Amino acid sequence: MASVDEAMSRAIALAARGLGTTSPNPVVGCVILDQRGEVVGEGFHAYAGGPHAEIVALAQAGERARGGTAVVTLEPCDHTGRTGPCTVALIRAGVARVVVAVADPNPLAGGGVKTLREAGVEVVTGVREGEAEQGNIAWLTAVRRGWPYVIWKYAATLDGRSAAIDGTSMWITSEAARMDVHKLRGTVDAVVVGIGTVLADDSRLTARNLRDGTLNIRQPLRVVVDSSGRTPEKARVRDGAAPTWVATAAEVGVGPDGRVDLAALLAGLYRRGVRAALLEGGPTLAGGFLAAGRIDKIIGYVAPKLLGAGSPALADAGVHTIAEAIDLDYTEITQVGPDLRFTAVPRKREG
């Protein structure tokens, strides 16, 4: 038998399997327990437009779901989109109790708890809420505020250089770190760079297996922030291997600095279905995002190398004195090959 807490832990792990393939929908996991507490069905939302986690789990459980408990990471949806409402499916299956980790912030799909209770189903909320929230943090954050969750990724030497004085930057970090970045690209909806990065590196910005060069089945949108439209027609980012948006100031709008308006850019990405974006641009673009308060998480790959001169990993971020420094909280530090990878989030300022 499994406890509700154990079942929710399993549901959270199942939900993670959908990272990178469900947008603009959330990642969701579900476990069905029968009346004795035995696991009789489980599922996760695998892709947008596909069956929801509850539907997959109920199909596996069959009649054994009747009188049982559905444990789900996100409040069951209560609307008809490309699929029917999960609330109706749970009620028809005869589930006696539904245990929910996180409430659905989407006004279109929310309201599932109310519908279930009105149908006589017992509903328990908030079980392992913090853990489930972190597993679905990009989607939840984006939907709550209306623009994507932004992760800034950079690679640098131990003294903070992203390129040598002659402009060379391949390769600062190891193959293990680069493979890790490709896995990271596979979990987001868009990869964002500036025109400077395109002109300097001419990267494809795809998610692929570095060992054999094969592309992932689903590719993130490639976004070039290019104020004046200088992206060459023959740039590899235009190669057709993945969708590309060259975002110019003329199309998106002009910000206070005379470049592409970052708030308008992010709003445009949200309208395109982007809920998680990976910022891989150079120091100038990264500084602009940080100065605008538009970075939610930072993932840095630090190589055991020293250059002493060359381009810094970060340019002007609107900080003029030590009192204005952008404070971070580390959430993870680990070694990837010979390199150090750290994950941090900007600390919220009081007042």
Q: Give the pair of three-digit tokens for residue 187.
A: 């979990």
CA distance 123 to 100: 7
Total residues belonging to the chain: 351
Torsion, CA 200, CA 216, CA 221, CA 234, rounded to 10: 40
Sequence-distant (≥ 6) Cβ neighbours of residue 225 within 8 angstroms:
192, 193, 194, 195, 247, 259, 260, 265, 281, 285
Helix count (H) and strand count (E) of the chain?
11, 13
Give the strand pairing for 97-102 and 190-194.
Answer: unpaired
Whole-angstrom distance, CA of residue 69 vs CA of residue 7: 10
- Give the CA distances from residue 32 to residues 13, 116, 125, 267, in Å, rounded to whole numbers and listed in that order: 14, 16, 16, 38
Q: What angle do CA 146, 133, 143 make, to 5 degrees?
A: 10
* 3-class SS letters over 76-128: CCCCCCCCCCHHHHHHHCCCCEEEEEECCCCCCCCCHHHHHHHCCCEEEECCC
Query: CA-CA distance, 272 to 278, in Å (whole number)?
Result: 15
Whose tokens are 């308008």? That residue is 264
Burial degree of 325 (CB within 10 A; 0-12, 13-18, 19+)? exposed
**Enzyme catalytic residues:** 54
Residue 318 token pair:
């609107």
3-state secondary structure of 286: helix
